[in-house]
Amino acid sequence: MEILESTSLWFYGSGSDKVYNVELKKVPLENKWEVAYEYGRRGSMLKAGIKTESPVSYTSARSIYNKLIESKKNKGYDISIHRTSSHQRYELFINFLNELFEKNHVNKNEFDTLEAMLASSDPESMYMAEVIITTKDQKYGS
């Protein structure tokens, strides 16, 4: 499975020195996702598990991933490392748009708004704006 995003958290205090790692993974050959985690005392063998009983949509997995991280932060954990790459962000963005299209949650005006929000000169924003324009044209015509 391809790890698209991961976050490592740690907790130190009251005699504890713990780590908690969370990964957002894409299931091979499917447009489905899962959220994996591992935890334990720093330097020891970590216990691992999967938060999603079976692969789920990107939006469901993203929600589970975010809630898990937030719950650990609420218990006093701090984020030590958060990893993602430009390629991963593009893929996540495209998957998110595709889910919106499949559910008809985006209309032409919303596309125009997304496009305007990304109108900047940095390469990442330009790429994402191009994806929005292409997708809008495919769905609604030029």
pLDDT at 58 over 80: yes
- State residue 27's pLDDT score: 87
- Find tokens 């504890």 and name the residue: 16
E strand or H helix at 59: helix 58-74
Q: Please report, to the nearest 10 degrees, the dihedral formed by the alpha carbons of residues 26, 105, 120, 127 taken in order.
A: 40
Of the pLDDT bands very low, low, confident and very high (cuts 50, 70, 90), residue 22 is very high
pLDDT tens-place string over residues 75-130: 999 988 777 655 566 666 666 666 666 666 666 666 666 666 555 555 556 566 66
Q: What would the mean pLDDT of 126-139 be, rounded to a whole number?
A: 65
For residue 142, what is the DSSP state?
-
Mean residue pLDDT of the chain comes to 79
> Domain segments of the chain: what residues?
2-83, 86-140
CA distance 87 to 16: 36
* Strand ranges of the sheet holding 47-50, from the earlier edge strand across to the other edge: 47-50, 33-41, 16-26, 2-13, 78-83
| Contact (Cβ atoms closer than 8 angstroms) between residue 20 and residue 83 | no
Model pLDDT, residue 111 = 62
